[in-house]
């Protein structure tokens, strides 16, 4: 289970890096403040995607550890606006505040970045209250990795789902073992969409890769499918026998 959770966390960070990359097309510089587990994973993923990453931390040991793998790694206290100014962080198109348990520092750093005019600030929160404060402060994107991962794992633990991703507006994408009601006839005839409000978009036969589902696709017992729809509907559908 440990490895499984680690892989889920890894994918979550990858997804955040992808979301982040999409919102800043063009100038590929980013300052990552805080090189703890979250910040260092995010920074590493951005580097792998060819981004220029300035990593900042107050801990010289962490900065030393990541000095070879990031474009720049600097020891600085980012609660000090002057330190950020000297590093030119205000000129960056985006910055990530990857400080969690030091809540006061997280708030001060976010405030400094806003003051410096960084147009795209991502901030990590460790609780809903922390997230609310960061949003009210003006952070452009607030993420709650622990909460979001907890909700995601709860879905996996309690159901037959093999993977679960929830988007905004109560919409989800789920990988699950096909329920019997969807098997044995072409999808076009199964009325899955009209009866259950979900769309089957992909299918994987044992021993084969995923392929698109079409109206002619006949799902067989043991197939794994990818289903989209309202969160409640995909949850209910994946629980059908
Ligand atoms: P993790 O990502 O490991 O779960 P966390 O959520 O517990 O971390 P913290 O440990 O509070 O968050 O902070 C993450 C990193 O941010 C730490 O390495 C810490 O040294 C660094 N940090 C804290 N305050 C500052 C600051 N003022 N300036 C720069 N870096 C800081």
Q: How far is CA 192 from CA 65, 165, 184, in A?
A: 52, 20, 13
Task: Assess whether pLDDT exceeds 60 at residue 91.
Answer: yes
Tell me, what's the pLDDT at 10? 62
3-state secondary structure 167-232: ECCCEEEEEEECCHHHCCCEHHHHCHHHHHCEEEEEEECCCCCEEECCCCCECCCCCEEEEEEEHH
| Tens digit of each residue's pLDDT (9 = 90 or more) over 127-144 | 999 999 999 999 999 999
Tell me, what's the pLDDT at 20? 52
Q: What is the residue whose two structure tokens read 């952070």?
A: 139
- The two most distant CA atoms of the chain are separated, in Å, by 67
The stretch 152-165 carries a mean pLDDT of: 84
Task: Assess whether pLDDT exceeds 70 at residue 184.
Answer: yes
Residue 157 CB neighbours (<10 A): 9
pLDDT band at 154 (very low <50, low <70, confident <90, very high): confident
Quote the percentage of the chain above a pLDDT of 90.
71
- Measuring from each residue's beta carbon to the nearest atom of ligand 1, which residues come in under 6 Å? 33-39, 56-59, 62, 77-79, 98-102, 105, 109, 126
Kindly give the number of the ligand 1 atom that is closest to the alpha carbon of 100. 6
Quote the percentage of the chain above a pLDDT of 70.
90
**15-24, 70-79, 88-97, 125-134, range with the lowest pLDDT:** 15-24
Centre of ligand 1 to C-alpha 39, Å, is: 8
């Amino acid at each position: 289970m440990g490895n499984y959770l680690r892989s889920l966390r890894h994918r979550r960070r990858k997804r955040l890096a992808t979301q982040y990359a999409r919102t800043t097309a063009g100038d590929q510089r980013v300052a990552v403040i805080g090189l703890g587990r979250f910040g260092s994973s995010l920074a590493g993923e951005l580097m792998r995607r060819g981004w220029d990453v300035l990593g900042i931390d107050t801990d010289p040991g962490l900065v030393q550890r990541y000095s070879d793998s990031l474009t720049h790694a600097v020891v600085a206290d980012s609660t000090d606006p002057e330190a950020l100014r000297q590093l030119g962080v205000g000129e960056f198109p985006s910055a990530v505040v990857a400080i969690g348990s030091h809540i006061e520092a997280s708030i001060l750093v976010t405030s400094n970045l806003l003051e410096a005019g960084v147009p795209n600030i991502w901030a990590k929160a460790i609780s809903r209250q922390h997230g609310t404060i960061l949003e009210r402060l003006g952070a452009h994107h607030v993420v709650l990795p622990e909460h979001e991962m907890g909700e995601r794992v709860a879905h996996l633990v309690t159901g037959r789902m093999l993977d679960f991703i929830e988007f905004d507006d109560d919409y989800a994408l789920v990988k699950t073992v096909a329920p019997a009601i969807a098997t044995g006839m072409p999808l076009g005839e199964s009325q899955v969409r009209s009866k259950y409000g979900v769309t089957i978009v992909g299918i994987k036969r044992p021993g084969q890769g995923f392929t698109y589902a079409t109206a002619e696709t006949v799902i067989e017992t043991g197939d794994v499918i990818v289903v989209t729809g309202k969160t409640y509907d995909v949850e209910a559908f994946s629980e059908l026998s």
